[in-house]
Amino acid sequence: MTGRFSSRNVVVTGAGSGIGRAAAIAFAREGAHVLAFDITDAVEDVAASHPSITAMRGDAGSDADVAALVAAAAGRQGGLGIIVANAGVSGGMAGLLDQSAEDWAALLRVNLIGPFLAIKHGARAMLAAGGTGAIICTASVAGLRAGAGGPAYSASKAGVINLVQTAAQQLTGSNIRVNAVCPGLIETGMTQPLYDNARTRGLEHQIGQLNPLRRGGQAEEIAQAIAFLASDDASYVNGQALVVDGGLSSSHPFPRRRQLGETTF
């Protein structure tokens, strides 16, 4: 199959579900050879969904596991072209005063050290092969300002945004682009309890009501944003955090009393 990523080798971490799964399938459908990486056996189901996807089990927060992942991808014909550092955990919504240092360390190991390892090993492999590639990290609107996630999660995603900016600068002179995508409220395994609770209470229509589109997003919509950042269409996009949130972060919170067509002030 031909497409934007024909014959390119792509790594996606956290590919067992949600955004990672959608991204792996999107790349495969556009001609890529995808190495789908996850700590759960759900990644085997993702691999079974498309012949161009291969599953690999491992821990995105482990230096040894990520090094092995990148080596496997780099050893394929054509080398490693794209890496999507998507693996993450939510850490729950416990308040700042209710979390321990151990809680923070466990979350940061996956959410921030994981992307660092993907960039470090991925960029080394790309440089060794001539210095061309794209690295995309999954951040979040929670990393932009408060109110969209728990304290540790929000801090970790703010770190991811700064990490891609720093990495883009550190890789000056190469042709390796490093960017982030910042999803808003997306229906994934991480947010499923929220969606399930709203549906049980008959309040599904209120999901996403704080953004101008007044709906939650789908994993496939984020996958398309990731594919854009990985593609040649984004050849001059580097060190950026692309927000995909239905417009949620475009304004400070305010009471929504006006409807479309009514007088504005």
Q: What is the pLDDT of residue 254?
A: 62
pLDDT category at 162 given cuts 50, 70, 90 is: very high
Q: What is the pLDDT of residue 246?
A: 93
Strands (DSSP E) along 22-127, which ranges? 33-38, 53-57, 80-85
Distances (CA, A) of 153 to 61, 170, 257: 15, 25, 31
Strands (DSSP E) along 77-148, which ranges? 80-85, 132-138
Task: Report which residue type is found at 62.
Answer: S
Q: Kindly tell me if the per-residue pLDDT of 163 is higher than 70.
A: yes
Per residue in 12-25, pLDDT (tens digit) is 999 999 999 999 99
Main-chain dihedrals φ then ψ at residue 180, nearest 5 degrees: -125, 155
Per residue in 197-218, pLDDT (tens digit) is 666 777 677 676 788 888 889 9
Average pLDDT score over residue span 226-245 = 97
Residues 228, 231, 234: CA angle, nearest 5 degrees: 70
Answer whether 0.75 is exceeded by the pTM: yes
Task: Report which residue type is found at 125.
Answer: A
Cβ atoms < 10 Å from Cβ of 228: 17
Q: What is the pLDDT of residue 93?
A: 75
Look over the chain and give the mean of its residue pLDDT values, rounded to a whole number: 91
Six token digits for residue 12: 């996606």
Catalytic residue set: 153
Average pLDDT score over residue span 40-56 = 97
Interacting residues of 48 by C-beta distance below 8 A, sequence separation 6+: none
Give the residue with greater pLDDT, 140 vs 186: 140
Average pLDDT score over residue span 244-254 = 84
Task: Report which residue type is found at 123.
Answer: A
What the chain holds in terms of domains, given with CATH numbers, is 9-190+218-243 (3.40.50.720)
Q: What is the pLDDT of residue 257?
A: 57
Per residue in 135-149, pLDDT (tens digit) is 999 999 999 998 888
